[in-house]
């Protein structure tokens, strides 16, 4: 009889997905940071790039907890979001709307991460993995905070453009 896959397997699959997603994000940030025009926005991105490195380390700790080697599984959603970011940066490179566009794509990335970490946290709870829950909640809080900050920056960028 084939072994049935369980929530544990799903948890590890999704852990691999978000691990790959974060690593892709880290690689995508420098280009976005370079493209951004406003110092305040640049700083926000730089800070979150650093946070993302910590997030990768947290994921590696969770892989340790579940006794698996830290390995990603290609996340096509993040791949697509990064492609969109590149498109915006190319199409709006000379535009006063560039920062607004980069912020919007970054926010889509945060929303994907929030969805993933929210689910992982819920499953970790159900699986009784309390240490993993704590680590996932730390990251989830960072992603939400970044999302809020990006909303503020988006409003400012839009206002500047209107002025
Ligand atoms: Fe992240
Ligand atoms: Fe994915
Ligand atoms: Fe993030």
| Paired tokens of 53 | 């490195």
Of 25, 28, 45, give the one whose Cα is nearest residue 112. Answer: 25
Full domain range(s) for residue 89: 7-162
Which pLDDT score, from 0 to 100, does residue 35 have? 96
- Compute the distance from residue 126 Cα to the ligand 3 centre, in Å: 24
Of 35, 56, 59, 57, give the one whose Cα is nearest residue 45. Answer: 35
Ligand nearest the Cα of residue 117 is 1
Of 119, 89, 71, give the one whose Cα is nearest residue 29. Answer: 89
Q: Could you give the CA distance from residue 28 to residue 23 in angstroms, rounded to a whole number?
A: 9
- Compute the distance from residue 114 Cα to the ligand 1 centre, in Å: 8
- Please report, for the domain that includes residue 22, its CATH number: 1.20.1260.10
Are 98 and 105 within 8 A, CB to CB? no
- Asked whether residue 76 is assigned to any structural domain, the reply reads yes
pLDDT tens digits for the chain (163 residues)?
568 899 999 999 999 999 999 999 999 999 999 999 999 999 999 999 999 999 999 999 999 999 999 999 999 999 999 999 999 999 999 999 999 999 999 999 999 999 999 999 999 999 999 999 999 999 999 999 999 999 999 999 877 765 6
- Compute the distance from residue 76 Cα to the ligand 2 centre, in Å: 6
In the block, which residue shows the tokens 């889509």?
A: 108
- Asked whether residue 1 is assigned to any structural domain, the reply reads no
Considering its fold, how many domains does the chain have in total? 1
- Asked whether residue 109 is assigned to any structural domain, the reply reads yes
Q: Could you give the CA distance from residue 48 to residue 142 in angstroms, rounded to a whole number?
A: 8
Which pLDDT score, from 0 to 100, does residue 125 have? 98
- Asked whether residue 43 is assigned to any structural domain, the reply reads yes
Which pLDDT score, from 0 to 100, does residue 3 have? 80
pTM score, two decimals?
0.94
Q: Which helix (H) or strand (E) holds 6?
A: none
Question: For helices 98-126 and 39-65, what crossing angle results, to 10°?
Answer: 20
| Paired tokens of 73 | 């599984």
Ligand nearest the Cα of residue 81 is 2
- Asked whether residue 128 is assigned to any structural domain, the reply reads yes
Residues with CB under 5 A from ligand 3 (ion): 110, 113, 143
């Amino acid at each position: 009889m084939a072994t049935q896959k369980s929530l544990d397997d799903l948890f590890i699959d999704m852990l691999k997905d978000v691990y790959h997603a974060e690593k892709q994000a880290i690689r995508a940030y420098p280009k976005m940071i370079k493209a951004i025009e406003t110092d305040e926005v640049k700083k926000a991105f730089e800070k979150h790039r650093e946070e993302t490195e910590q997030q990768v380390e947290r994921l590696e700790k969770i892989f340790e907890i579940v006794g698996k080697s830290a390995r990603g599984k290609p996340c096509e959603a993040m791949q697509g979001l990064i492609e969109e970011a590149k498109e915006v940066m190319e199409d709006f490179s000379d535009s006063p709307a560039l920062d607004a566009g980069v912020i919007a794509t970054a926010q889509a990335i945060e929303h994907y991460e929030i969805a993933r970490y929210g689910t992982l946290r819920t499953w970790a709870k159900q699986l009784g993995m309390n240490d993993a829950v704590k680590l996932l909640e730390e990251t989830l809080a960072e992603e939400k905070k970044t999302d809020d900050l990006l909303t503020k920056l988006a409003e400012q960028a839009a206002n500047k453009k209107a002025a």
